[in-house]
A = this chain, B = another copy of it.
Amino acid sequence: MEKLYVIKIGGNIIDDEQKLESFLKDFAALKGYKILVHGGGKLATKLAAQLGVEQQMIDGRRITDAETLKIVTMVYAGYINKNIVAQLQANHCNAIGLSGADGNSILAHKRQHPSIDYGFVGDVDAVNISLVHALLQQQVAIVAAPITHDQKGQLLNTNADTIAQEMARSMSSLYQVELIYSFEKSGVLLDANDDATVISKINPGYYSELKAKELIFAGMIPKLDNAFAALQKGVHKVIIGKAEQLTQLVAGEAGTAIQME
């Protein structure tokens, strides 16, 4: 099986022009099949404020009313996605930007919740494996925006971490997938306040041990649970680390690799 990298970059990189530029240079230089999933950053919040569209958050999640959906569609699938693609082209990396509606690449449904109305938020149902495969085989990198659709004409705001995970999981039927989550820290740390204490590799046995000894800080547990869930669904390796170190993350020289064996 050929290798495929599914790489998620968070808002902190999107919001920093220089960091983003440097990250995209590294991404462009990466050999092989690759998918970049980007979050939103602060631009949508800023635009909403400028337009006087009030933002409602519940448990850290944005409630997506019709006006907010319009804003995130413009910002995520328009401004951010197209600027990333244009910069990749400048770095001689042919790339194509997709929302989930494009090529029916990510099908979702509007979130149903017994008590909270999240608005136009989508939970992923399926990735169009054959379309994604066909594009990758054209030597085109895919840049996925966190917007999906329900195949009934409705666009939906969708969590970028989830999109990365669903992409990785689904493409595992055709590729050996490495899922890379970039965030602010250098990886999974033994001491949350010391970036030098990165754990280079975690397998299920070691994970149990770390949890039993309470050597892992609480905020990291859901991320690691998600990583192991991805591995159980066929993803070959999950890597967590700093976006600024993409090249080293991929080479296994930085970050934390989460693997079954």
CB-CB under 8 A from A77, the residues of chain B are 77-78, 81-82
* Beta-carbon contact of A89 and B101 below 8 Å: yes
Contact with A74, one of B79, B99, B104 (Cβ below 8 angstroms): B79
CB distance from A213 to the nearest CB of B (A): 48
Binary CB contact string for chain A from 146 to 165 against chain B (1 if under 8 A, 0 otherwise): 01010111110000000000
Binary CB contact string for chain A from 26 to 65 against chain B (1 if under 8 A, 0 otherwise): 0000000000000000000000001100000000000000
A240 at the interface (CB under 8 A from B): no
Contact with A153, one of B86, B104, B138, B155 (Cβ below 8 angstroms): B86
* Beta-carbon contact of A95 and B89 below 8 Å: no
A9 at the interface (CB under 8 A from B): no
A225 at the interface (CB under 8 A from B): no
CA distance A90 to B82 in the complex (A): 24
A98 at the interface (CB under 8 A from B): yes
User: Given contacts A50-B51, A86-B154, A96-B103, could you give 15 more A-B pairs where the C-beta distance is less than 8 Å?
Assistant: A50-B50, A51-B51, A73-B83, A75-B78, A78-B78, A78-B79, A82-B101, A85-B99, A86-B101, A87-B153, A89-B104, A89-B149, A90-B151, A103-B138, A131-B140
Binding site for B on A (CB under 8 A): 50-51, 70, 73-79, 81-83, 85-87, 89-90, 94-99, 101-104, 131, 134, 138, 140, 147, 149, 151-155
